[in-house]
Structure 1
Amino acid sequence: MAAGAKQPTGRYGGRTAGERRAERRQRLLDAGLRLFGGGPGYRATSVSALCEEAGLSTRQFYEEFSNLEEVLAALHTLINKWAEEAAMSALATMPEGGVEERAAAAFRAYASCATCDPRRIRIAFVEVVGVSPQLEAQRLARRGRWAEVMLHELKRAAVRGEAAERDYRVAATAFIGAVNGLLHDWTAGAIDASLDEIVDELLLMLIGVLRPKGWRAAP
Structure 2
Amino acid sequence: MADMAQARPYRGVDAADRLAGRRRRLLEAGLELLGTPDGDPAELTVRAICAQAGLGLRYFYESFSDKDDFLAAVYDAVVADIAATTQAAVAAAPPDQQARAGMANIVRTISADNRVGRLLFSVELSNAVIVRKRAESSALFAGLLFAHAEALGAPDTEWVRAASHFAVGGVGQTISAWLSGDLKLSAEQLIDHLAATLEVLTDPPRAGDNEPDRR
Q: TM-score, normalised by structure 2?
A: 0.79
SS, match of residue 185 in structure 1: helix
Residue in structure 2 matching 1:147, options 121, 142, 150: 142
Rounded Cα–Cα distance in structure 2 between residues aligned with 1:21 and 1:69: 20
The structure with more helix, counted as a fraction of residues:
2
Task: Please say if 1:168 is aligned against 2:160.
Answer: yes
Which residue does 2:79 correspond to in 1? 80
Any residues of structure 2 matched to 1:64-103 within 5 Å, and which? 64-94=63-93, 97-98=95-96, 101-103=97-99
Change (3 A) 1:176 1:64: same
Task: Please say if 1:189 is aligned against 2:181.
Answer: yes
Conserved 8 A contact 1:83-1:114: no
Cα deviation for residue 141 of structure 1 reads 2.1
What percent identity do the matched residue pairs reach?
A: 26
Cα deviation for residue 209 of structure 1 reads 5.3
Rounded Cα–Cα distance in structure 2 between residues aligned with 1:28 and 1:192: 35
Rounded Cα–Cα distance in structure 2 between residues aligned with 1:45 and 1:97: 44
SS, match of residue 43 in structure 1: helix
Which residue does 2:54 correspond to in 1? 55
Cα deviation for residue 185 of structure 1 reads 1.7
Rounded Cα–Cα distance in structure 1 between residues aligned with 2:59 and 2:125: 27
SS, match of residue 64 in structure 1: coil
Which residue does 1:124 correspond to in 2? 120
Conserved 8 A contact 1:147-1:172: yes
* Unaligned segments of structure 2, at least 5 residues: 207-215
Cα deviation for residue 104 of structure 1 reads 0.9
Cα deviation for residue 67 of structure 1 reads 2.2
Of structures 1 and 2, the larger Rg is shown by: 1
Cα deviation for residue 105 of structure 1 reads 1.2
Conserved 8 A contact 2:164-2:201: no
Which residue does 1:177 correspond to in 2? 169
Which residue does 1:4 correspond to in 2? none
* Number of residue pairs aligned between Structure 1 and Structure 2: 200
Which residue does 1:31 correspond to in 2? 29
The one-letter amino acid paired with 1:202 is L
Change (3 A) 1:201 1:17: same
Rounded Cα–Cα distance in structure 2 between residues aligned with 1:212 and 1:85: 27
Conserved 8 A contact 2:142-2:165: yes
Task: Please say if 1:40 is aligned against 2:38.
Answer: yes
RMSD after superposition: 2.8
The one-letter amino acid paired with 2:80 is K
Rounded Cα–Cα distance in structure 2 between residues aligned with 1:147 and 1:191: 24
The one-letter amino acid paired with 1:30 is E
The one-letter amino acid paired with 1:121 is G
Cα deviation for residue 152 of structure 1 reads 2.0
Rounded Cα–Cα distance in structure 2 between residues aligned with 1:195 and 1:182: 12
SS, match of residue 167 in structure 1: helix
Cα deviation for residue 119 of structure 1 reads 0.8
Rounded Cα–Cα distance in structure 2 between residues aligned with 1:26 and 1:156: 35
* Unaligned segments of structure 1, at least 5 residues: 1-6, 215-219
Rounded Cα–Cα distance in structure 1 between residues aligned with 2:32 and 2:187: 23
SS, match of residue 40 in structure 1: coil
